[in-house]
Chains A and B, each alone.
Chain A
Amino acid sequence: MHIPDGFLDAKTAVISAGMAAVGIGIALRSVRRAASARRVPLIGLAAAFVFAAQMLNFPVAGGTSGHLIGAVLVAVLLGPSAAVLAMTAVLVVQCFMFADGGVTALGANVFNMAIVAPGVGYAIYALVRRAAGDSLRSRLLATAFAAWCSTVVAAIVCAGQLALAGTVAWKVAFPAMAGIHMLIAIGEAVITTLVVAAVARARPELLASRPPTSASSHYTELTAYGLLVSLGLVVFVAPFASGWPDGLEKVAAALGFEHRATATPIMAAPLSNYTIPGFQSAVSSTIVAGGVGILVAFVLAYVLARALTPRVDAAHGRGAGGASPCA
């Protein structure tokens, strides 16, 4: 999802850099207000942790492998503002030391991966936890669902930026980015949840000790990120989403491109699934496809959370609980 140099025009680069600066400003302010100097080295080391953890390979089919992105993982473990700063540091180092992601696109990359991804992820995590309770299972469910959603939303914003810059047309960028990242997001959700579950097994207190900020400042922080991300969606995504259903020719053209697109290797299966036959309008079919995708992701998140929670509270869990002291 790293946008290289030369893919954004001046307008898009400046707008997204401005929004990234605002997001970093919110994060700096809330870390300073929390007035916990103890957390400053932790944020720096967490950035190095994300970088090192991204080097761990998770084998996928056919010799390919994926790796963690880490935004939601850090947001769940350290809170949203620490995650924003840590991911920003990761992106700056990747840009200047490893030429991964462009200098002029740094603002856009920071906005997508260091502000939208942890912001959306943490908001969904907090919402699901609020709805589902404070047990480990509900935390894992919240983590998995948040990781999936945040990856997909970040990819959609990225597609919007490429389209706004006039580099890649929205009708190509959106299905390609959203489709591919709906699959990548499954991997991200599984890895993030596995890591959080393993941290909960090894050191439950690390997961429990969240930043001791007061409830009101916590909500101010989340509201600020929420407003910023919404602004990003309005600027980068809304113009295309609303100007979309302008005639069947465009849809046909999009479908024609999609058929051609399936021949190239970077376009995997999700693209052809993305428009559902029987729906005339691209908008309704996208809404249905998106809704089905979110539902499937939620069910997968629930199954994963169930599978990873030790069954102590279940009926036969008493046997396991009784056996462990002997072991």
Chain B
Amino acid sequence: MAAAPEVRPLVHDELLNPYRHGASLIHRLPAPVKLLGAAACVLVSVLLPRTAWPAYAGMGAGLLLVALLSSVPLRYLGRRLLLAEPFAVGVALLALLQDHGLQVFLAMLAKSTLCLSCIILLNSTTRFTDLLQVFRRLRVPALLVVTLALMHRYLFVLVDETARLRRARRSRTFTTGRVFGWGLTATVAAQLFVRTSERAERVYAAMCARGWKL
């Protein structure tokens, strides 16, 4: 049971890359339109009054239509929604503990489900790099965009590196004590940091070699 996650393939593609390639109408829309549309959709559902149930239903139907048009499998979208939902439910549970809690709880749940579906639809049909271009055009500071781009680029590399480090550690360690285990996992994290900072040096040299300036 505990060993099951260890045998996953190195690139956790489905876990790390939400984008599903396609040629549908939604995929072909320009990224700025999709980002602003999703943002508008999130904003409307957040600002709707708590008891506007018909409006919630209408928005849900609209999002379902977009999902069908995007030709991304509904099962995939549903699984991502289920993965993201527990966090929202956790915060919403706090609202249950006060007066009129149930109504607030249900409204929170409806709003956060709509917003989550919206964002999941956006990132299933739009590449993150395209979103970064939109950020750049929206005058987000260049340093922040570079940080985001580098993070996105090396996310996959470092997650694979972590998997390799853990596998190496497991193949050399025969104890499973909890206290000892924490120490070992912390060593893996520390080693990951050491490798990260070394890689950053190499990346910097490579960037300079290609004429990069801050």
A residues with a Cβ closer than 8 A to B are: 2-8, 10, 13, 24, 28, 31-32, 37-38, 40-49, 51-53, 55-59, 68, 77, 85-86, 88-90, 92-93, 95-104, 162, 167-169, 172-173, 176-177, 190-191, 194-199, 201-203, 206, 257, 260-261, 264, 266
Contacts and interface: CB of A to CB of B under 8 A. Distances in A.
Contacts of A176: 94, 97
Contacts of A24: 141, 144
A187 B120 CA distance: 31
Given A37-B214, A44-B153, A169-B99, 19 more contacts: A4-B91, A5-B116, A6-B46, A31-B143, A40-B146, A52-B158, A56-B162, A88-B147, A90-B151, A96-B119, A99-B84, A99-B123, A102-B42, A168-B97, A172-B94, A195-B190, A196-B190, A199-B190, A264-B93
Interface string B178-204: 100111011111111110110111011
B182 A194 contact: yes
A49 B192 contact: yes
Interface string B107-129: 11011101110011011000010
A47 B158 CA distance: 10
7 contacts: A4-B87, A8-B46, A41-B203, A88-B144, A104-B46, A195-B186, A206-B197
Contacts of A41: 150, 200, 203-204, 207
Given A48-B196, A194-B182, A5 B42 contact: yes
Interface residues of chain B: helix, strand, loop or mixed (majority): helix
Interface string B72-115: 00000000100010011011111111110000100110111011
Contacts of B183: 194
A56 B181 CA distance: 11
Nearest to B131: A96
Please tell me the size bucket of the interface on B.
Answer: 35 or more
Contact of A194 (B131, B151, B186): B186
A194 B107 CA distance: 42
Closest 10 pairs between A and B when the two form their complex, measured CB to CB: A44-B150, A6-B111, A198-B190, A194-B186, A5-B115, A47-B151, A42-B200, A4-B88, A52-B158, A48-B154
A56 B87 contact: no
B197 A42 contact: yes
B200 A45 contact: yes
A257 B196 contact: no
B188 A77 contact: no
Nearest to B149: A44
A85 B196 CA distance: 16
Contacts of A190: 182
B166 interface: yes
